[in-house]
Chain A
């Protein structure tokens, strides 16, 4: 059963089989070898840290990304300025201020975002500081970008320390081995981190007029110095012992003298040394000649004057880009041109009465006539404020008649946020004031008064610069240290209403609880807001996400 024919085929079959096996095993081998290359993922539609930060454009974009964080729902979109409305001067609709504005921040929808967005600034700044060294670029630019990153991280730690006390200090990224779960540092350690970052920024940044400082709207050397002063002043005023301060308020809007508390965590500090440092930093800014006050108070708020002369640092907005707009206009302005609603926040009657009648900060800075009809023209309301000026405001140029409706519209709406490019939308391009030169002048006056046991000529000079440009009379001469302290404190309240300063001032001077509880439940028109606070209100509750996930944290702030 064996023949040549089949033998031939058998041989060929064997050959072919061997060949096939050979080729197959080879192809498997080749495939396996090529696998690792084939299986390497190539990202197409996103950039990754590993291949970023190579040049000036990329490094600049990474720093811009830090600034972007301000536009999160934990900062300028609402929470940052809403926190400040937990103060004695702010008044508003219960539906809007019912949580933070009534001392109940844990009920606020954005409470966790506040914590998270501050740390977003920190982690983005950390990423820049770690990666920027590899970028090949001009040294001046690199230094400036590093300076901006240091400043923004410092600002975040400063703000966290004010809001929460001591917090975990993350100064590197997870990618370079940072611990995800970190315990809280002390308040002082947190401030020291902020101070050290501000100092780095001061060294690396250029003054505003130097072309190397980049586009207007970036932080500059002057901003770093002013915030250094602010951090020092916070520690100085917070740790000051045995001092009193008089503040107008309470149910009868009288002046009450309060013995200030030493702020928890600031005990035992050399208050005077910090006042010295604060004054020195303020002087650096003043002497730099980079900044000056606008001659007319209302010039501050116009669209054209953004980023100019007095403005040291504003959060920049962009009309038409909803990610870079706020609803400040919506919440603070009296009523829009279509009359369809009224704002939800206004200053209290008490606070309105803290100004002289012709002070442009209320003469022009508060709306005295406005019209609202809620979309129903048959029910148009013509409202004037205040009642005592009815004679002045009862008619306007068009002959409309206005009236004071104390049951509902006893409201002093600020005009600060009424200058926008497009007032027709609920989101608009208000810049948010982070720092202006007037703040530096008043910080100087405050520090100088404490250092010298009373006001010097310089303290008066800078205080009165701020007052007189608003047509307010100069401060009374030859007053005591305590009276001057109280006067500057009140002046800060008048100058910076709704600029996220009042609550910080009340807290750092250790008078927040006393002032708020003196007010008690505040009734005005048909609105009532409770200003009653307990000691837990001195610090905000930490994000529940942090509490739930960070086992090293050591718990929440007292009372939360």
Chain B
């Protein structure tokens, strides 16, 4: 510890040692550099052409450079400005005025531990500017990224306000390790999910809703997002680079006049659609049909009474009186639409106020945001305050310090959606579809849940259950950068991340969970703290035709998290909820947990540009992680890349000069990265408490945890080797540009939790075994088809193809199944050699048995009793692949794939005078979705309501020829095999956002800019998917179970109106 602290301290002391630094000189040229506004320009690089000498301007724009004999020209370059070359006249100062760069090739791209100009990149890196990010007014940055970056597939878990998004870069390469990329915010890695610190949702087993950990970042504060995709770019992040790296850079104050910017916008959200289910009349008819069918197909001596007879019957309590029992017709016009009862129009208010400015001594940006997002389901709300302070200061000529710090506090009121349950705890969306439309909104005389199945009344559930997460979060990225010599820079980053969440839940006795428990309360807290120290030396040197840049560094990270949770039940009433848990007569012991992990890394990178034609990058990182035993603690992640700037070859000169071709670059790279998403202490055997009791006294008991498996000291990283070839082209004065990448990734030593013989006393063991390959193609085309004085149209389109394949599972295993997806135990996700992760496996239907003759003719039914034969009429016929006369697990086959064939996005910007119009079309093609809503409703004729389609398709005595769904029958024997009945094509094309804005010109100078806009989100979606929305991915980051709709929170359409003013 002492050594560690000493090391950090030492890094600080270094600057003060290097205080009195100046340079030697030979033939000296001096001068001054100004920007396009005539302001002095700091940190302009001044280099001699053909030589190696180099200087920077100071804060007054002055420079002094000693040039070699024979040097005739000086080059002035600065980020964001056009390069300028001036001839030397000895003894005369050279003063320069820079101009803004128009070439996107000079855009600065943030790469790991440094920056590069786009034209000098050797790796595959996509950049999204802050302006492009906020098109469509996303409330969080991940939704803003959707469809805009090739090779990056952003899906939402569901439409929960503040809910999580899943980002997958170039396909899945892990079963267990997660596929989230590494997020680096202002240079500091940010641990997403803080998995160890997020208290498990102890209640409502199977609940999968998670919150978006990046929601603390206000999209308006983002300068740019750079996604590192190929291994030459990501290998510098070593053990965390395998899923790609997303580098988020927040805004800084710009030089010039101080400004105040205010953004206000209000959004009105409504559900994208309602699913058509039966009204009360149809429902009562169907229920009656269910009982009469039961009486017909399974006759018993005393036929069962219809549930909705529509006649007078003797009262059960008073035999002398008659009571009227309602029939279907009595419900005409008296139907409860449960979806309407729980849906609403949700209003979002989003306010940002920021102050920024800068001069030669530094810059600042202070911004505050308030977001209040009411979801389209009653009671759901995401509420957040955040504040950011980004400050940079040039303390000395050679020393810059900076701090980018943000604080956010949010409360997310969740409603139960997106969960695996098929019993009482199904969640409000499934319940709203299934709940009987003949019931009243609230009837205190009856039970508040349907006793037969205990599905809770969705309206009561949504209004009375408390389920909220409060998060307070600080993320602070700080640095000191010292220019030690003109070639050598030292930078020390220190990052602090703190995250605290509190989950509070209360289930009153009116709902399933709280009913027998007499009120059920949970509280869970989690804390996460992380400290990162990164020390970097950057050495830049030009030698003859070589332009070197060398980075070397060492980093240290320390993560610690704690959780605790407690549970109580049996409350005297439902008034105090979880706020006074001591009021529960029954409680479980508190559970606490603490984990800690460290990573120490050394890294280095050399880039060399030879004659501005051949670019080489070599990088290396070595990571040591506390999560592994000594033998596997250190791993090494090398990479190499080569790029050929064909454009600068002599034979391209004519094209170049005529502005036909502005850029042509070929890139090749290879690199190795890792995935260390393995939990702490995985190599330990764990003893956990297994108490016993003797003669009425509790005694301590301890034993190995059979579910965490035997200790495996051999655990190591999942390792990915990636090859990439890319081509960048730019034509016609940069009016048209093209970026294409083709890649091949191969991941080995996959982490797998394999089942081991239970006779060992363990159920499973975590091992490294198996291989996965991903290959793909990403294309991006950008163009400016029209550019006149008043009218500009630019367009940008991207399309990505990825193919995933399991090469081996290890252990000679040919196939296995991913974890089940519901409480019935269905496991449609198969992992088989030669198939992708996400392949679906199940049975095939041969239609519906039309009549008894068809049942009798089916060999599968041979030997069945008459009673069974009879009741099978109108039931699903499953295909007997092996013709052995029984439907067994051997009759399963591949029935789908949740991986898209391709995903795409198309952005158009039109600007005419003061108007501008922007729209984004985005979509996915060829992916399947598992619709668990339809699974939940499938059993026609039981208690639950069904969809109109299911009703129309059901077998009846009249619709027996064309039936596609089983008959209505009230029974308990029907069970469903998993077939395409529950899998649908999830392809969609969507008008993701449209924004129309107008720059208001005012006579007054008070406003520098006043812009008003209106935008629409998710206005049009074209899809065959019958659920609420095809952009659904219930299991979030779990690559092994993507594309499952588990009664997720319905997505919403949003209309925003807003104003942006700059003073």
Q: A residues within 8 Å of B by Cβ?
A: 1-2, 6-7, 9-10, 12-13, 16-17, 19-20, 23-24, 27-28, 30-32, 34-36, 38-50, 52, 57-58, 60-69, 71, 112, 115-116, 119-120, 122-124, 126-127, 167-168, 170, 173-175, 178, 180-182, 214-218, 306-307, 316-318, 321, 323-324, 378, 543, 545-546, 548-550, 553
Contact = CB atoms under 8 A, between A and B. Distances in A.
B760 A20 contact: no
| Residue among B684, B687, B703, B711 facing the most chain A CB atoms (10 A cut-off) | B703
B704 A127 contact: yes
Contact of B697 (A9, A69, A123, A215): A215
Contacts of A214: 694
Contacts of A50: 685
22 contacts: A9-B22, A23-B10, A24-B537, A32-B602, A39-B600, A39-B625, A46-B681, A48-B686, A61-B702, A62-B701, A65-B702, A68-B692, A119-B761, A120-B706, A122-B759, A123-B761, A123-B762, A215-B694, A216-B695, A323-B691, A324-B692, A546-B757
Contacts of A43: 681, 684, 686
B699 interface: yes
A126 B761 CA distance: 10
Given A36-B630, A378-B316, A68 B701 contact: yes
A550 B703 contact: no
Contact of B755 (A10, A52, A167, A545): A545
B762 A317 contact: no
B20 to A, nearest CB: 7
Interface stretch (B49-57, B590-598, B795-803, B1042-1050): B590-598
B17 A20 contact: yes
Nearest to A181: B757
Interface in B367-416: none
A9 B626 contact: no
B757 A180 contact: yes
B699 A167 contact: no
Contacts of B23: 9, 13
Nearest to A319: B696
Nearest to B629: A41
Nearest to B633: A39
A28 B603 CA distance: 11
Interface string B521-557: 0000000000000000100000000000000001010
Given A19-B17, A35-B624, A321-B698, A546 B759 contact: yes
Interface residues of B, number: 76
B686 A174 contact: no
B1021 interface: no
Closest 9 CB pairs of A and B: A123-B761, A65-B703, A64-B701, A215-B694, A68-B690, A65-B701, A217-B694, A116-B758, A44-B594
A237 B691 CA distance: 38
Interface string B722-765: 00000000000000000000000000000000111111111100
**Most chain A CB within a 10 A radius of its CB, from B28, B66, B602, B760:** B760
Q: Which of A12, A127, A182 has the most CB of B within 10 A?
A: A127
Contact of B691 (A45, A63, A64, A378): A64
A543 B758 contact: yes
Contacts of B485: 13, 17
- In the complex, which of the residues A7, A61, A180 has the most CB atoms of chain B within 10 Å of its own CB atom? A61
Nearest to A318: B693
Interface in B18-32: 18, 20-28
Given A45-B593, A215-B697, A549-B755, 16 more contacts: A16-B18, A20-B484, A27-B554, A40-B626, A46-B681, A49-B704, A57-B700, A65-B692, A119-B759, A120-B706, A120-B761, A123-B704, A217-B695, A316-B695, A316-B696, A318-B693
A28 B602 contact: yes
B28 to A, nearest CB: 8
A265 B274 CA distance: 65
A215 B699 contact: yes
B759 A216 contact: no
A170 B761 contact: yes
B761 to A, nearest CB: 2
Interface in B590-630: 592-598, 600, 602, 624-627, 630
Given A316-B695, A324-B692, A67 B701 contact: yes
Contacts of B761: 119-120, 122-124, 126, 170, 173-174
B321 to A, nearest CB: 14
A449 B143 CA distance: 82
B703 A68 contact: yes
Given A45-B592, A216-B694, A39 B685 contact: no
Contacts of B681: 41, 43, 46
B14 interface: yes
A214 B761 CA distance: 27
Nearest to B2: A34
Interface in B658-716: 680-681, 683-688, 690-706, 710-711
Contact of B4 (A38, A67, A122): A38
B26 to A, nearest CB: 5
Nearest to B594: A44
Contact of A217 (B556, B693, B757): B693
A542 B760 CA distance: 14
Contacts of B705: 46
A310 B596 CA distance: 52
Nearest to B11: A27
B695 A307 contact: yes
A66 B24 CA distance: 78
B317 interface: yes
B468 to A, nearest CB: 26
A545 B706 CA distance: 14
B694 A316 contact: yes
A38 B27 CA distance: 51
A35 B599 CA distance: 9
Contacts of B763: 116, 545
Contacts of A44: 594-596
Contact of B687 (A2, A48, A68, A115): A48
Contacts of B20: 12
A322 to B, nearest CB: 8
B12 interface: no
B3 interface: yes
Contacts of A10: 24
Given A65-B703, A378-B316, A546-B759, A38 B600 contact: yes
Nearest to B761: A123
Contacts of B14: 20, 23
A307 B697 CA distance: 13
B7 interface: yes
A316 B687 contact: no
A531 B685 CA distance: 45
Contacts of A64: 690-692, 699-702
Given A1-B26, A27-B10, A180-B760, A46 B686 contact: yes
B600 A31 contact: yes
Contacts of A123: 704, 706, 760-762
A528 B554 CA distance: 75
A76 B968 CA distance: 40
A300 B729 CA distance: 90
B2 to A, nearest CB: 9
A439 to B, nearest CB: 21
A55 to B, nearest CB: 13
B600 to A, nearest CB: 5
A25 to B, nearest CB: 11
Contacts of B703: 62, 65-66, 68-69, 124, 127
Contact of A20 (B18, B25, B688, B762): B18
Given A52-B702, A115-B758, A46 B688 contact: yes
A169 to B, nearest CB: 9
Interface in B624-651: 624-627, 630, 633
Nearest to B3: A34
Contacts of B28: 1
